[in-house]
C-alpha cells in the first residue's frame, strides 16, 4: 500500500513537472513570436536611442548612467507620493501598519541615495565599460536574438542571487555590521528609495557589483544589459517599498529582513532555503502572504477573516 502511494505521488509529481515544462515552452514560444514579429519595431526604437549618442563609449557610459538613475526615480516616484499622501486604499496594503514616513529621515535618505548615484555609480559604469571591451561585449547597433537575451538575463538573475546573498551575509557579520550595514538597517520599515540607502562600501559590493557582473560575464549586448538593470532596479524597489500590492512581486521576505534582521538575505530565496536562513521567516504570518496576489483585498485582511472563521 505504501509503495502504491509512493508510485502515485511520483506519477503526480512527474505529470506536474511535465505540465510545467510544457507551459513554460508554450509561454516561451509566444514571447519569441512576439519578439520576432515586432523585431523591426524594436530595432527601429533602438536605432533612435543609438543615434542619440556619438560613440560606443558614450552609449556605454552616459547611456548606462542615465538609464540606471532615471529608472530608479521613475520606479520610486509613485511610492514616494503614496508614502507622503497616505491614501486610505494604499494603507490597507502596508506591511508594517504602524510605521509612517518621517520627512527628516526621508530627506536624509535622499541625500545619501543621490550621493551613491552621482559619486559611486560613474566609476563602476566606467569600469564595466572597460571590462565589456576586454570581454568583447556587443555595443553595436544590431539587437541580439530573443534566445540570447533570455539566456543572458536568466544567468544575470542567478549571478545576482549568489553575489548579493553572500555579500549581504558578510555585512551582517558582527565585526562588520556596525561599521557598514547598520546604515541600511536604520530603516526597520523600508521605503522604495532605501534600496540604495547604504554605506558606500556596501553600495559598491552588494548593490552595484552583483548587478553589473552578470552582463559582463555573459558579454551581453548593451541593450540586454539595460533591460537587466531595469529589472534589477524594479525588483529591489518593490522589495523595499513596504506595500504588498496586487499584481506585484511579494516584498514580504525582504520587509521581514528589515524587521527581524537575521533572516532572508537573498533576492530569490533559493540560497536562503539552501542555508536555512529563512527558517524563522517560514514560521510567520508574513511567509503565508509571501506570493504575488491577484486579489484587490489585502492579504492581511484575508488572514484575519480566516482566523475569525476558525
Q: pLDDT by residue for the chain (310 residues), tens digit each?
A: 545 554 454 554 444 544 444 444 555 566 666 666 677 888 999 999 999 998 999 999 999 999 999 999 999 999 999 999 999 999 999 998 767 788 999 999 999 999 999 999 999 999 999 999 999 999 989 999 999 999 999 999 999 999 999 999 999 999 999 999 999 999 999 999 999 999 999 999 999 999 999 999 999 999 999 999 999 999 999 999 999 999 999 999 999 999 998 999 999 999 999 999 999 999 999 999 999 999 888 888 877 655 555 5
Task: Check residue 97 and give its pLDDT.
Answer: 78
Task: Check residue 290 and give its pLDDT.
Answer: 94
227-231: long-range contacts (C-beta < 8 A, 24 or more apart)? 227/149, 227/153, 228/152, 228/153, 228/156, 229/64, 229/67, 229/68, 229/71, 230/67, 230/71, 231/153
Task: Check residue 107 and give its pLDDT.
Answer: 96
Cα separation, 147 vs 155, in Å, equals 12
Task: Check residue 8 and give its pLDDT.
Answer: 53
Structural contact between residues 159 and 270, judged by C-beta atoms closer than 8 angstroms: no
User: Which grid coordinates are listed for 236?
Assistant: 529591489
Beta bridge partners of 94: 243
Handedness of CA 38, 39, 42, 45 (dihedral sign): negative
Amino acid at each position: 500500500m505504501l509503495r502504491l502511494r509512493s508510485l502515485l505521488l511520483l506519477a503526480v509529481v512527474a505529470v506536474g513537472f511535465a505540465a510545467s515544462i510544457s507551459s513554460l515552452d508554450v509561454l516561451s514560444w509566444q514571447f519569441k513570436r512576439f519578439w520576432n514579429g515586432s523585431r523591426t519595431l524594436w530595432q527601429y526604437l533602438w536605432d533612435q536611442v543609438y543615434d542619440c549618442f556619438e560613440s560606443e563609449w558614450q552609449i556605454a557610459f552616459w547611456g548606462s548612467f542615465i538609464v540606471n538613475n532615471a529608472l530608479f526615480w521613475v520606479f520610486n516616484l509613485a511610492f514616494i507620493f503614496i508614502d507622503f499622501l497616505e491614501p486610505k486604499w494604499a494603507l490597507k496594503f502596508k506591511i508594517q501598519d504602524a510605521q509612517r514616513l518621517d520627512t527628516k529621515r526621508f530627506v536624509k535618505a535622499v541625500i545619501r541615495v543621490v550621493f551613491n548615484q552621482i559619486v559611486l555609480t560613474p566609476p563602476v559604469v566606467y569600469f564595466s565599460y572597460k571590462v565589456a571591451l576586454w570581454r568583447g561585449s556587443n555595443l553595436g547597433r544590431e539587437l541580439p536574438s530573443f534566445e540570447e537575451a533570455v539566456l543572458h538575463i536568466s544567468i544575470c538573475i542567478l549571478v545576482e542571487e549568489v553575489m548579493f546573498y553572500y555579500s549581504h551575509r558578510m555585512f551582517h557579520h558582527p565585526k562588520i555590521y556596525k561599521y557598514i550595514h547598520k546604515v541600511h538597517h536604520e530603516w526597520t520599515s523600508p521605503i522604495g528609495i532605501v534600496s540604495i540607502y547604504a554605506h558606500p562600501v556596501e553600495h559598491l559590493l552588494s548593490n552595484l557589483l552583483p548587478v553589473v557582473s552578470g552582463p559582463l560575464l555573459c558579454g551581453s549586448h548593451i541593450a540586454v544589459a539595460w533591460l537587466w538593470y531595469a529589472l534589477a532596479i524594479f525588483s529591489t524597489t518593490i522589495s523595499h517599498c513596504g506595500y504588498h500590492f496586487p499584481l506585484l512581486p511579494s516584498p514580504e521576505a525582504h520587509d521581514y529582513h528589515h524587521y527581524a534582521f537575521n533572516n532572508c538575505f537573498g533576492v530569490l530565496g533559493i540560497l536562503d532555503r539552501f542555508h536555512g536562513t529563512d527558517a524563522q521567516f517560514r514560521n510567520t504570518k508574513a511567509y503565508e502572504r509571501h506570493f504575488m496576489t491577484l486579489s484587490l483585498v489585502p492579504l492581511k485582511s484575508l488572514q484575519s477573516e480566516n482566523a475569525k472563521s476558525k
